[in-house]
Amino acid sequence: MSHAAPVRVLVAEDFVPYRRFTCSTLARVCGLQIVGEASDGLEALQMAVELRPDLILLDIGLPSLNGIEVARQMRSLVPESKIIFLTQESSAEMVQEALNLGARGYVIKITGASELLTAVETVLSGKTFVSSTEPN
């Protein structure tokens, strides 16, 4: 696969304004292409399997199937997709669980505006990104 091919992104987020914000933020970045938007966990799983995105931005608090469970299933269904969690949940336990599931990134929504693109760049470069959970 040549580097010229865009990175294909699936955004799974049930809160529409935040999903729009996320998509519009990412769409401005050269080389990223939003290929799908899901509003619940089951839809996210189906779309991931159909679209085989390179990157999945996944809300943890999704209806029908939460993001943690979605990620657990995606690991075997679409192992090549990199997952970045987007969440309001900033507990260290949740971060740890997400990373244990193989997520490459963890972005807390309140800091998402400033950290989203950094997280995406970091994860695409092969590293892990975690929002700072403590206010500094």
**What are the tens digits of pLDDT across the range 53-95?**
999 999 999 999 999 999 999 999 999 999 999 999 888 999 9
Q: Distance from first CA to last CA of the chain, Å, rounded? A: 41
Contact present, 45 and 73 (Cβ < 8 Å): yes
The reported pLDDT for the residue numbered 136 is 42
User: Mean pLDDT, to the nearest integer, of 111-134?
Assistant: 88
Closest CA to 23 of 68, 65, 53: 53
**Is the model's pTM score more than 0.75?**
yes
User: Mean pLDDT, to the nearest integer, of 94-121?
Assistant: 91
SS3 84: strand
The reported pLDDT for the residue numbered 3 is 57
pLDDT band at 133 (very low <50, low <70, confident <90, very high): low
The reported pLDDT for the residue numbered 134 is 55
pLDDT band at 2 (very low <50, low <70, confident <90, very high): very low
pLDDT band at 20 (very low <50, low <70, confident <90, very high): very high
Residue 122 pLDDT greater than 80, yes or no: yes
DSSP designation for 54: S
